[in-house]
Amino acid sequence: MFEIELCGDGTIRLRGRFDAAQVEAANKVLDQVTESRVLDFRDLNYISSAGLGLLFAVQRRLADRGQGLRLVNLSPHLHEIFSIAQFDRIFEIG
């Protein structure tokens, strides 16, 4: 199960397992993002390389406009994945 929700304050919440089967649904929401946003990972249990790839593509698109994604509430496991992939150098993680 995976859910992605754009909250009223502009935060984007991710829940469940973000794998290749969920990229299309996530892209529908993330494709609408045109300015800096916070992604809340509090309820995200898993992210695959396909999910990482989509986030990277969105970050690159936003960076071209001087914007970006800030990732918050990563579990230790997800934080380790971002570190191993060196995505902690690409995204602001807080």
Which sequence spans correspond to the domains of the chain?
A: 2-93
Segment 26-50 mean pLDDT: 96
Segment 55-82 mean pLDDT: 96
3-state secondary structure of 2: strand
Q: In whole angstroms, what is the distance from residue 84 CA to residue 82 CA?
A: 6
Q: Distances in Å between the alpha carbon of 13 and those of 64, 84, 86? A: 23, 23, 22
What is the pTM assigned to this prediction? 0.93
Segment 69-75 mean pLDDT: 97
Other CB atoms within 10 A of residue 94 CB: 9
Segment 44-63 mean pLDDT: 97
Segment 13-33 mean pLDDT: 96
94, pLDDT greater than 90: no
One-letter amino acid for residue 44 of the chain: L
Segment 13-34 mean pLDDT: 96
The domain defined by 2-93 carries CATH number 3.30.750.24: yes
Percent of the chain with pLDDT over 70: 100
- 37-47 and 12-18 beta bridge pairing: parallel
